[in-house]
Structure 1
């Protein structure tokens, strides 16, 4: 009987030790898991610090200012907002558009070296309708008119046709725009500017070499628009529209410039 009690006590002691051993193993596993998790968090923390440092350096780095075109040429660029345009771009746009629109030489704008050496006569572009029959404007003015907003373009072309001498299309009359002053653009709203231009229109006819000068002082209102995507190969009307709207600007109004001082 004593022997049985001794064996039973021994078995109970072994069971207790076995449970204790299992309990210690589970605790060790949890400790190792916690230690591993802490190590991973520590590594992640250092990686985030490195990424933050890299982003900080990238933020301080100046944006690229040189862009290479498909033609192989490189141009300098500057980061600006979608509704922002530099004063130089606005002045260039206004000057080029008004010069192309108001210079009536009686010849077509040259597109090749041969045409520049031997210009072709300008037959004009007919914009006649029920109200304005047999109304013509020069081909250059028609081309430049695509720099105008759509709601302003039609009315402006009617007014332009009314003052275009018929002798221009017969090679008897020439009209030249002579800009005297084009002031820096004045911002009037977000993405909108006005430019004051003081100029003369000089009209020269075959029977009068002295010519006639008419004041052409205007306030030109310009706004930013989304420029068209650069086409690969286009011609005709599509090429004309792209050329006139490539700067991302359009003229939406022109009015007489009030005379400030005598």
Structure 2
């Protein structure tokens, strides 16, 4: 009898060894526990946001630190301006277009008068500058056209002056006629290689005379090639000629070629 009871007890013990003991019921979370957990998550979230903000500020600071500060440049007249550092041959499209427009207007507009501030604020007749024409004759071009010619490369300038002398009417210097360049369109500069651009100009040369106040117009359509150059230094005691050359070349550009433009957009 005892033997049977002992065996049954051993079997029961062995069976219970394979049955996990029931776990004690978990304690329900109180509102205080929920509040503490919420506060902890809020603190972690704020810390993450602060870290992201610090990283962004550090990146912005490093970006600013790597940029070159604007350079203060003092002009000939004493005025100081700020200038942004650029590559040696880099020029903005606006500067290239403005340079071409100004040079061609000065080169091809012949009024026979000097600027109004040339002598006591009053316009005076232009005595002109004598050059040798393509036919070997001594002829005059306007002073403004002569000054504008320094915006062209030296190997191109000599032949250009001869051609301008052939085109300039002699009546310009007596006040009898005027020739005005009237641009119609100028294209945005097309970079053909580093430091070189091409611009197309569509314009008319209009000649006015006492007998023709309406004006006689001829096309002036050109393909113009521009290149970057070093800006010359201007001495404190520069002569009027040196000042004139510096004014033309201060943009760091020159025209090195010009040819007739074939109009392909006409119908």
Tell me, yes or no, whether TM beats 0.5.
yes
Partner SS for 1:239: helix
Match of 1:67 in 2: 72
Contact 2:71 2:85 in 1 (8 A): no
How many aligned positions are there?
Answer: 206
Q: Does 1:82 align with 2:88?
A: yes
Name the structure 2 match of 1:225.
229
Once the 2 structures are TM-superposed, how far is the Cα of residue 82 of structure 1 from its aligned partner? 0.4
Q: For 1:72 and 1:122, how far apart are their aligned partners in 2?
A: 30
Partner of 2:99: 93
Deviation for aligned residue 1:72? 6.1
User: How far 1:68 moved relative to its partner?
Assistant: 5.0
TM-score by length of 1: 0.72
The higher radius of gyration belongs to 2
Unpaired segments ≥5 residues, structure 1? 1-52
Gaps of 5+ in 2: 1-57
Aligned with residue 247 of structure 1, among 223, 235, 251: 251
Pairing partner for 2:207 from 203, 208, 211:
203
Q: Secondary structure at the match of 1:140?
A: helix
Q: Secondary structure at the match of 1:197?
A: strand
RMSD: 2.3
1:177-196 superposed matches below 5 A: 177-196=181-200
Q: TM-score, normalised by structure 2?
A: 0.71
1:155 aligned partner: 159
Q: 1:58 to 1:73 in 2, by over 3 A?
A: farther
Which one has the bigger helix percentage? 1
